[in-house]
Chain A
Amino acid sequence: MKFFEPNPLPQPKNSLQALGRWVLESTRGAGIALCISFEALLNVFKLHRRRAEFGRQLMNAGVKCFLVTSIVAFFTGMILALQTGLALSDWNQEDLVGNIVVQTMCREMGPFMTALILAAAIGSAYAAEIGTMKVSEEISALELMSINPIEFLVMPRLLALIIMCPILTIYTDVLGTLGGMLVSETQLDVYHKVYYRIAIESLTNKEIYVGLFKALIFGFVIGTVSSYKGFSTQNGAVGVGNAARTTVVTSFLYILIIGYFMTRIFY
């Protein structure tokens, strides 16, 4: 594959050279990963050719994560409501819990939790799937048949994540808010209509759009990391395991770091 023909750097002779080599390899890796994703996005106009695979990946990302997303979202909302409600009750302000829960869910926790679930459940699976194809020479076979592996494999997966991450985020936001409502009603004695009114009044379009934009970026990040890790897989089954593991770890780190900077930019 054109991005992956080995062009290795010289062996380091001391720790300074080793550090330099690590920086160069990391930078090159990031560059290659972005090149793969941008090429995939440039091939989006060929989506009609890959509609079956795209549908399969949408189902994978959506349906397979549905149950775990539901549980995580509901309990995240409940924990948020309980913690903030208890703190607010010291000042008899527990009625405001709906405000805090809905804003936190929409701005931060919704996209963040959804992205973590997708990275762990779907990103690792993508890396393992592409990695297995790499080590069993299926990628080479595709290239030999003049099939672009990026269009064939990455484009439908990346697009499915970019679309499904915001959709699941909306679901997470709603379910988290409902979880918060349940705790407010049963533990904090905040009537559910009061919780609902305050939550809705505090919610602006900006909270929703920024949250969904974050989710879209996180979907792109997970797709990019998993595709790159998959294509750079070497050393058989061990390499496939490594690709899946490093996809989850790397995606988590990028989601956290990018999430912070996006919050800083928009607020």
Chain B
Amino acid sequence: MLTFDNVKKDFGGHEVLKGVSFDVEDGETLVIVGPSGTGKSVSLKHMVGLLKPSSGDILFEGKSIIGLRGKALAEHRRNFGMLFQSGALLAWLTVEQNIALPLIEQRKLSVKEIEKKVKHSIELLGLEGSEAKRPSEISGGMKKRVGLARAIVMEPKVVLYDEPTSGLDPVMSRHIDKMILDMQEEFGITSIVVTHDLHSAFSIGDRVAMLNKGKIVEIGSPEEFVKSEDPFVQEFIKAQFSAGHIEGIKL
């Protein structure tokens, strides 16, 4: 469905992506893990044309997205929803208005249809009672849920999650993980998740990829990932799981 083919990205002499290649299958959840500043979020932004690679190609459903502009780019982006790290909710709009925004701006649906879709998203993510609140009045976890409601309200084929559990307590983090799994079960959505949280990665990922120093150093199922011979992958796993004890993960 989505292919990264030797993608490189250079910011003013600083090469962030140094030839990243991977495929994402239809309906799967790929989790990209790795240390900070290694290009995980940059990779996500490339998928929706928010950044353009310095070289290499990105294919979506077999077609290159490099050089897409105007309506073609807008059309490509309609296939994607994205949960941003901070939620990226507009401060002056209420929860309900934030969720409805992409539908209103699309100008294809009637007010009643928009209301129905927004209500469904609100129910799905358990946001009842918060419709009239503004982003400044809700918690971090709720902001993520509103962000996710906005991401799925357009019924995208692919949802991108940028650090969905960062800044959340463990209980809320597991709740967000469950929501991501629910989204996949309910809609069969393809998910690409960027995170530091290996617990989350093993819980939700069909495959886990390690991005280190701008390159994919390991990619495979959680079982394969844990058995990786790459020293950095092992170091990363040990740093998060004491004495190699990995509990509550889908292995």
With A145-B102, A146-B77, A146-B105 known as contacts, the answer to whether A138 contacts B90 (CB < 8 A) is yes
The answer to whether B12 touches A8 (Cβ under 8 A) is: yes
A137 and B102 CA atoms in complex are apart in Å by 16
Instruction: Please name all residues of chain A whose beta carbon is closer than 8 Å to the beta carbon of B106 when the two chains form the complex.
Output: 146
With A141-B82, A144-B48, A144-B82 known as contacts, the answer to whether A8 contacts B90 (CB < 8 A) is no
10 A–B pairs (Cβ distance < 8 Å), ordered by A: A5-B52, A137-B86, A140-B50, A140-B88, A141-B82, A144-B80, A145-B101, A146-B74, A146-B78, A147-B101
The answer to whether A141 touches B13 (Cβ under 8 A) is: no
The answer to whether A136 touches B52 (Cβ under 8 A) is: no
What distance in Å separates the Cβ of B230 from its nearest Cβ neighbour in chain A?
30
Instruction: Please name all residues of chain A whose beta carbon is closer than 8 Å to the beta carbon of B203 when the two chains form the complex.
Output: none
Q: Mask for A137-157, Cβ within 8 A of B = 1, else 0?
A: 110110111110000000000
A143 and B52 CA atoms in complex are apart in Å by 14
A8 and B14 CA atoms in complex are apart in Å by 10
Instruction: Please name all residues of chain B whose beta carbon is closer than 8 Å to the beta carbon of A143 when the two chains form the complex.
Output: 50, 77
Q: Interface SS of chain B: helix, strand, loop or mixed?
A: loop
A195 and B90 CA atoms in complex are apart in Å by 53
Instruction: Please name all residues of chain B whose beta carbon is closer than 8 Å to the beta carbon of A140 when the two chains form the complex.
Output: 45, 50, 84, 88
What distance in Å separates the Cβ of B2 from its nearest Cβ neighbour in chain A?
15
A155 and B77 CA atoms in complex are apart in Å by 23
Chain B positions within 8 Å of A, measured between CB atoms, are 11-13, 45, 48, 50-52, 74, 77-78, 80-82, 84-86, 88-90, 101-102, 105-106, 154
Starting from the known contacts A140-B45, A140-B88, A141-B88, 5 additional A-B residue pairs (CB-CB under 8 Å) come to: A5-B51, A136-B88, A137-B86, A145-B101, A145-B105
Instruction: Please name all residues of chain A whose beta carbon is closer than 8 Å to the beta carbon of B80 when the two chains form the complex.
Output: 144
What distance in Å separates the Cβ of B98 from its nearest Cβ neighbour in chain A?
9
Q: Interface SS of chain A: helix, strand, loop or mixed?
A: loop
What distance in Å separates the Cβ of A117 from its nearest Cβ neighbour in chain B?
24
Instruction: Please name all residues of chain A whose beta carbon is closer than 8 Å to the beta carbon of B102 when the two chains form the complex.
Output: 145-147
A contact residues, total (Cβ < 8 Å) = 16
Q: In the complex, what residue of chain A is closest to B156 when comparing beta carbons?
A: A144
With A137-B86, A140-B50, A141-B84 known as contacts, the answer to whether A147 contacts B105 (CB < 8 A) is yes
Q: Mask for A1-36, Cβ within 8 A of B = 1, else 0?
A: 000011010110000000000000000000000000
A6 and B51 CA atoms in complex are apart in Å by 9
Instruction: Please name all residues of chain B whose beta carbon is closer than 8 Å to the beta carbon of A138 when the two chains form the complex.
Output: 88-90
Scan residues 222-253 of chain A and give those whose CB is less than 8 A from a CB of chain B: none
With A144-B80, A145-B102 known as contacts, the answer to whether A8 contacts B51 (CB < 8 A) is no
The answer to whether A144 touches B50 (Cβ under 8 A) is: yes
Instruction: Please name all residues of chain A whose beta carbon is closer than 8 Å to the beta carbon of B88 when the two chains form the complex.
Output: 136-138, 140-141
A144 and B45 CA atoms in complex are apart in Å by 9
Q: In the complex, what residue of chain B is closest to A147 when comparing beta carbons?
A: B105
A133 and B11 CA atoms in complex are apart in Å by 22
What distance in Å separates the Cβ of B154 from its nearest Cβ neighbour in chain A?
8
A137 and B80 CA atoms in complex are apart in Å by 16
What distance in Å separates the Cβ of A62 from its nearest Cβ neighbour in chain B?
18
Instruction: Please name all residues of chain A whose beta carbon is closer than 8 Å to the beta carbon of B48 when the two chains form the complex.
Output: 144
The answer to whether A8 touches B11 (Cβ under 8 A) is: yes
Pick the most buried of A6, A136, A145: most chain B CB atoms within 10 A of its CB: A145
Q: Mask for A103-143, Cβ within 8 A of B = 1, else 0?
A: 00000000000000000000000000000010011101101
